[in-house]
Amino acid sequence: MKKYTFTLLLILLALTACGPARQADSGSRVAKAAHVIGFYNLENLFDTYHDEGKNDYEYLPDGANQWTETKYRQKLSNMARVIAAMKEDNGVWHTVLGVSEIENRHVLEDLVSEPAIAEANYQIVHYDGPDRRGVDVGMLYDPSKFTLIDSESIPFTFEGSAIEFEMTPEEQQNFRTRDVLCVHGLIGGEHFAIYVCHLPSRLGGKGQDLRARGGEIIYNHAMEMNRKYPGINCVVMGDMNDNPTDDSMAVYLRGKEDIAEVGPEDFFSPFLSMLKAGYSSLYYRGESNIYDCILVGYNLAHATPGTWQIQPIIKGKYYARIFNKPFMTNQTGQYKGTPFRTFSNGAFVGGYSDHYPTYIVIRK
């Protein structure tokens, strides 16, 4: 009996010793006083109705994707499952969750009503944008933790830029892409400016100058907010269609890899070191990338005591997390190890998204 008790004690001690290491590696539950701020590309969350003036025909019941109410409802359920899984891991709902590739406010209203996440009582910030396909960005927030002050949809323009563009003036005039969403609010009494973006596509191997312009637009607006609200916490998130090493983030958003190097006019770019370490939020043309980035301004990188500050959450050294679970990932076949998406090779496969969600944690 003594031998059995001693053996059991050894097993319990071993489990106790291993537990924190596993949690730190996978993303441990955050403290109740902390806040989760994240981003998720929902991969073409369209309803089944035509929006006037938008090229959404492939996502209609008689369109190329045969996008029926059944498929739409499954897509909503899948997106809600991922958001609920993040809450289960963290122990708290996101305070703020930026989203992209959504057709309109209606799809967000349907999403936040899904049974798996309805208790979060997410509220919505959304503007109809000029993208020709009709895809927008938006933001969900927990009104018990985030107090909305105001918001605006910042248009993508070419005026006032020092960038040399490939497009002719006429092409620039006809160019349409997603606006940048800026949401101004309070978390625990501190001002936040949260930018949600979906920078121009890489299709055709082009658009580097356009994504650089997107970074320039966001940066200039953030500096204006800093002047207007000294001490404001700026957070930039989105599908950048660029890695954090590319000019849009490293040059035009002044994203720094080392938090110690972040100055008052810089941003801390936590996914830069994670990209170098081999992490991935999506695969584009077979290559591993992190396009789903979050950057924070100086005040969150170097907080004064008693104010919000970004926290290391992976292995004690990475300040961000890419959330990927087995159910969100292809387990077999040609695409093994990559995100389990909604469509594959033109066929509906009932997956989640071609992007993994990402997030940061702040606490005092």
Mean pLDDT of 15-31: 44
Residues 6+ apart with CB under 8 A from 114: 76, 77, 79, 80
pLDDT reported for residue 13: 36
pLDDT reported for residue 228: 97
Assign 285 a pLDDT band (cuts: 50, 70, 90).
confident
Residue pLDDT, tens place only, 147-167: 999 999 999 999 999 999 999
Q: In terms of C-beta density within 10 A (0-12 exposed, 13-18 middle, 19 or more buried), how is residue 39 classed?
A: buried
- Closest among 272, 296, 351, 277 to 38, alpha carbons compared: 296
Q: Is pLDDT above 50 for 12?
A: no
Cβ atoms of 140 and 82 within 8 Å: the answer is no
Q: Is pLDDT above 50 for 5?
A: no
Percent of the chain topping pLDDT 90: 87
Q: Is pLDDT above 80 for 10?
A: no
Q: Is pLDDT above 80 for 8?
A: no
What is the number of other CB atoms lying within 10 angstroms of the CB of residue 158?
17
Residue pLDDT, tens place only, 192-218: 999 999 999 998 777 999 999 999 999
Contacts 24+ apart (CB under 8 A), 112-117: 112/140, 114/76, 114/77, 114/79, 114/80, 115/80, 116/77, 116/80, 116/81, 116/83, 116/84, 117/80, 117/83, 117/84, 117/87, 117/93
Residue pLDDT, tens place only, 305-356: 999 999 999 988 999 999 999 999 999 999 999 999 999 888 999 999 999 9
pLDDT reported for residue 23: 27
Whole-number average pLDDT of the chain? 92
Q: 37: which strand partners?
A: 96, 360
pLDDT reported for residue 345: 86
pLDDT reported for residue 4: 40
pLDDT reported for residue 24: 30
Assign 275 a pLDDT band (cuts: 50, 70, 90).
very high
The two tokens of residue 264 are 């008052």
DSSP 99-118: EEEE--HHHHHHHHTSTTTG
Q: Is pLDDT above 70 for 28?
A: no
Percent of the chain topping pLDDT 70: 92
pLDDT reported for residue 50: 96
Q: Is pLDDT above 90 for 268?
A: yes
Cβ atoms of 260 and 273 within 8 Å: the answer is no
Assign 25 a pLDDT band (cuts: 50, 70, 90).
very low
pLDDT reported for residue 206: 79
Strands 255-256 and 267-268: parallel
What is the rounded CA–CA span in Å between residue 182 and residue 301? 20
Residues 6+ apart with CB under 8 A from 217: 154, 156, 157, 180
pLDDT reported for residue 292: 98
What is the rounded CA–CA span in Å between residue 251 and residue 7? 58
Range with the poorest average pLDDT among 19-33, 89-103, 128-142 = 19-33
